[in-house]
Amino acid sequence: MNKLAVIALGGNAISRSDQEGTIEQQEENIKETLLNIVYLIKQGYNIVITHGNGPQVGNIIMRNDAGEQLYDITQMPLDICVADSQGGIGYLIERVLRNLLRKENLHRDILTLVTQVVVDKNDPAFLNPKKRIGKYYTKAEAEVLEKEKNWELRKTPKKEGMFRRVVPSPTPISIFNRETISKIARNGTIVIAVGGGGIPVYIDDNGNLIGIEAVIDKDMASSVLAQRIKADELYILTDVPYIYLDFNKPTQRIVEYLDSADANKYLKEGQFGEGSMAPKIKAAVSFVEKGGQKSIITEATKLEDKSFGSKITLNYD
């Protein structure tokens, strides 16, 4: 049987901080990334693609904000904004990938799936929101928004004296349509799912699904999906080719191979930044500890390289 891989596209696969974020730029970024995934398709892999949505969902929220202020258009809640971003980004990835496969004379169906992900409404993350989203506000604006909208805003280190909204990032528990995703992916269809970590929903006391104001970590949601569909491999694509110890220090060194025990040890030591590499390491370790063969953290251009960036397994090979 062909191997099944979940490939999580990092933020720079779509938008980059030094760009305006035009559709043309996003399309070119996606194309550069997906060109490297074609290698795995040629190798016979069955593939599920996941992706981030940070800049895009932030822009959607700002458009909501502008629409409310200028035209009195009611703002949509965060779960709807995530769903909007899933559809738009998924469409762009699917269209670019279809064009690439056609040029390579590869024939695969591609399906973009708007995906709901269940979280616990009592997750501790709701008591300590940390994920910054949306535009920057002055202190005076932040105070008004906290009163009028019941938002929580905190100072941002990127712009002195400015504030941004923070929202919870709860742990993903379950992913809807995972059986269908597994079935059609194993039949050769490329599935795009769990965009932006998934649309956050919880199950109320009556068993109903309710949207909730939160964002889910894309890498952890990708790991949960990979576990549930029993994928063989999980690829987490980022903007660095390897995992580094002592990152940005004179003693910085590459780690090409890690087992889960050492990865957990380095996590406890604080080797990996909480806002950058740590969530990726945690997602990779969770995947291999729940039965995955291996997880690779690398940049897209390394996929065809035999070293595959940095690899995490349950035990050393």
Contacts 24+ apart (CB under 8 A), 30-36: 30/92, 30/93, 30/96, 31/96, 31/100, 32/300, 33/9, 33/237, 33/300, 34/93, 34/96, 34/97, 34/100, 35/100, 36/300, 36/301, 36/302, 36/303, 36/304
Three-class SS state of 62? helix
Instruction: Return the amino acid letter for 255.
Output: V
Nearest CA to 243 out of 257, 233, 231 is that of: 257
Q: How far is CA 6 from CA 84, 159, 238, in A?
A: 22, 36, 14
Catalytic residues: 11-12, 131, 218, 280
The pair of three-digit structure tokens given for residue 80, joined into one six-digit string: 């709807």
Sheet-wide strand order for 131-137? 131-137, 163-167, 152-155
Tell me if 15 sits within 8 A of 26, measured CB to CB. Answer: yes
Of residues 267, 270, 207, 276, the one with CA closest to residue 240: 276
Name which of 182, 170, 261 is nearest 220 in CA terms: 170
| Contact (CB, 8 A) for 117 and 198 | yes
Are residues 313 and 294 in contact, defined by beta-carbon separation less than 8 angstroms?
A: yes
Distance of CA 179 to the CA centre of its chain: 20
C-alpha span between 31 and 11 (Å, rounded): 14
